[in-house]
Amino acid sequence: MTAQFKDYIAIALRTITMEIEAVQAMQSRVDHCFEQACELILKSSGRVVVTGMGKSGHIANKIAATLASTGTPAFFVHPGEASHGDLGMITPKDVVLALSNSGNTAELVTILPLVKRMGVPLITMTGNPQSAMAALADANLDTSVEIEACPLGLAPTSSTTVALVMGDALAIALLEARGFSAEDFAFSHPGGTLGRRLLLKVSDIMHTGELIPMVRQGASLKDSLLEMSQKGFGMTCILDRNDTIVGVFTDGDLRRSLDRQLDLQSCRIDDIMTTGFTSVSQHMLAAEALSIMQNKAINALPVVEADRTVTGVFNMQDMLRAGVI
């Protein structure tokens, strides 16, 4: 059993090494054709229609998804279905990206001349620059490999890895050319944690109005503690006569007051509040506010605008409920 387990590891390492070498060898073939492919896509007012058969089809599907999520509208069309009506999904405004390791896949060779007759720019990704598909292409991306990682030389392994990496390279080159931002990315991923972190603002999670804990300058410690308990944020804002914030009082301030042995019966909130407090704006990303809270070990924050008015308050529990954490 031990010897077999060692063999498994050796096979895994050999496979990984072969695929790494295949990707590294591809670097010298990223040339003007790659630039031309990028330009064809950027000039297009339509979408990138990605197609491929078999394992190349699976890679094509993933490339289409990556393009679509990084600012380049794209979708996958199965070449077999394209011959039976789905070719109508392609318009003259589109660009076709066709994948085939051999470059002679029958289903693709059948439909690509029709794509060319429509005047649709064609980009191919093949392992054979002399193939029928490469000859039809406006730009052919050479994804050839010297040897597959499969010891039989049959199962697409190194070749699919290289095609996938070339697809990623194309997507990222287009992303940077378009100036695609993290916020743009979030808009196409609104349901995930990343989307929430990039789109959610403090205003989306803060509590407002009567839910904000606040007392006036000169308030007693008793009244301040009552306000903190009723609102449940572990802090209260202290406002002056103009309704602008001048300080905050937190559970931590209370503990420090006890350490100082102050007369808690007679002292006023002005004597023990924190004036150099941390606050955020309602327009700030919730993820940025979370970073501030974590760095300063703060559980709750007031939301304060430029005129020093308090518009809200929130705490770590609100971050957790919103899925920012």
Say if residue 139 is in the same domain as residue 214: no
Residues contacting 248, CB < 8 A, separation 6+: 235, 236, 237, 238, 273, 274, 277, 302
Residues contacting 41, CB < 8 A, separation 6+: 48, 72, 95, 123, 170, 174
- Quote the pLDDT of residue 90: 92
In-domain check, residue 195: no
Say if residue 133 is in the same domain as residue 221: no
The last residue of one of the domains, among 180, 210, 227, is 180
pLDDT tens-digit map of 62-91? 999 999 988 899 999 999 898 887 888 999
In-domain check, residue 56: yes
- Quote the pLDDT of residue 195: 62
- Quote the pLDDT of residue 137: 95
Burial class for 57, CB neighbours closer than 10 Å (0-12, 13-18, 19+)? buried
- pLDDT higher than 90, residue 139: yes
Q: Can you give the CATH number for the domain in which 227 is found?
A: 3.10.580.10
pLDDT tens-digit map of 184-204? 665 665 555 566 666 788 999
pLDDT tens-digit map of 300-320? 999 999 999 999 999 999 988
In-domain check, residue 261: yes
- pLDDT higher than 70, residue 183: no
Say if residue 33 is in the same domain as residue 107: yes
Say if residue 131 is in the same domain as residue 276: no
The last residue of one of the domains, among 180, 210, 235, is 180
Q: What is the pTM of this model?
A: 0.65
- pLDDT higher than 60, residue 4: no
The last residue of one of the domains, among 149, 180, 211, is 180
Q: Give 153 or 89, the one with higher predicted confidence.
A: 89
Q: Please give the mean pLDDT across all residues of the chain.
A: 89
In-domain check, residue 193: no
Tally of domains within the chain: 2
In-domain check, residue 282: yes
Quickly state the pLDDT bin for 1 (edges 50, 70, 90): very low
Say if residue 176 is in the same domain as residue 80: yes
Say if residue 256 is in the same domain as residue 164: no
Closest CA to 105 of 70, 42, 64, 60: 60
Domain that holds residue 261: 202-322
In-domain check, residue 196: no
- Quote the pLDDT of residue 182: 63
In-domain check, residue 252: yes
- pLDDT higher than 70, residue 215: yes
